[in-house]
Amino acid sequence: MELNEITITTAIIEKYFNKLKGALVSDVAIVGGGPSGLIAGYYLSKNNIKTVLFERKLSIGGGMWGGGMQFNEIVIQEEALPLLQELDVTYTHYNDTYYTADAIECVCAITAKAIKAGLQIFNCISVEDVMIHNDRICGLVINWSAVDIAKLHVDPLTVKSNYVIDSTGHDTEVVKVLVKKLPGQLNTPSGTIEGEKYMWADKAEKLTLENTKEVYHGLYVAGMAANAVFGAPRMGPIFGGMLLSGKIVAELIIGKKR
Ligand code: 48H
């Protein structure tokens, strides 16, 4: 049969808009498709919690693709190995409690598992604001990233969600908006973003897990965003903390829903 360009176009438009319509109301909306957001999406979806993820860029994976300084290998400590096993990521022992994995395989394997578990991922969409009703975050304001890049004056649209995870990494973009709109109301010692600190891998990895929590009613931070919000150090290209943080935030929300 001869291929028809209009059928191809119609198929894409119809299927995409059905996906987008299905994502307008969700249990959990994740902002940022780096390691922590993808892992959170995997565990939430696996537990039958309707979860959508918005990623600004064309590609998901955040800072994981480039390993350290574009050497595409990542280091993972022993504590995170069960996660790699569950996600079918190949890893090798380096020494002591250090393991390494191919950064590309990591992104691809985690993403594939998350999508198969039911996570709906929307790339090329940026979150630019939050919806708050009765002192609780209840949705996100989204727009095409291309609109943002081109600085076009185009109004955004809104999605509704019971919980939001800010996994936007160093920039803590969702929390930043919240702090701007509602000064002093963040659940941190200063009531605002404490700011990411210097490099100290050991301390940073431990604190990432502690800092993964709810910072405003319905809004959670995970991954590097958790450390930036709570004023903890950075850790460089070791990814166990990012992966475990994604699992912890999923468990916190699953616990709330029980
Ligand atoms: C939609 C957005 C928006 C927005 C940003 O940076 P990430 O990889 O995040 P984490 O926390 O899962 O992992 C951090 C890790 O990659 C890292 O940088 C480490 C370990 N650094 C240590 C160090 O010392 O430097 O991913 C965040 C994602 C990115 O893909 C962004 O494009 C996306 O969030 N994003 N998506 N709307 N407003 N802002």
Domain assignment present for residue 22? The answer is no
Residue-range definition of the domain harbouring residue 230: 32-62+122-157+170-257
Domain assignment present for residue 41? The answer is yes
The CB of 75 under 6 Å from ligand 1? The reply is no
62 CA distance to ligand 1 centroid (A)? 5
**Structural domains in the chain (count):** 1
The CB of 244 under 6 Å from ligand 1? The reply is no
Domain assignment present for residue 78? The answer is no
User: If you average pLDDT over every residue of the chain, what do you get?
Assistant: 98
Protein residue whose Cα sits closest to atom 21 of ligand 1? 236
Domain assignment present for residue 21? The answer is no
The CB of 41 under 6 Å from ligand 1? The reply is no
DSSP characters for 53-102? EE-SSSS--GGGTTTBTTB-EEEEEGGGHHHHHHTT---EEEETTEEEEE
Q: What is the CATH number of the domain that holds 135?
A: 3.50.50.60
SS3 category, 14: helix
**Which pLDDT tens digits describe the chain residue by residue (258 residues)?**
999 999 999 999 999 999 999 999 999 999 999 999 999 999 999 999 999 999 999 999 999 999 999 999 999 999 999 999 999 999 999 999 999 999 999 999 999 999 999 999 999 999 999 999 999 999 999 999 999 999 999 999 999 999 999 999 999 999 999 999 999 999 999 999 999 999 999 999 999 999 999 999 999 999 999 999 999 999 999 999 999 999 999 999 999 987
Pocket test for ligand 1, best of 38, 39, 52, 56 (most atoms within 8 A of CB): 56
Domain assignment present for residue 219? The answer is yes
19 CA distance to ligand 1 centroid (A)? 24
Domain assignment present for residue 8? The answer is no
The CB of 167 under 6 Å from ligand 1? The reply is yes
The CB of 225 under 6 Å from ligand 1? The reply is yes
Cβ-contact 209, 174 below 8 angstroms: no
Domain assignment present for residue 164? The answer is no
Query: What letter represents residue 83's amino acid?
Result: L
Domain assignment present for residue 102? The answer is no
Protein residue whose Cα sits closest to atom 27 of ligand 1? 168
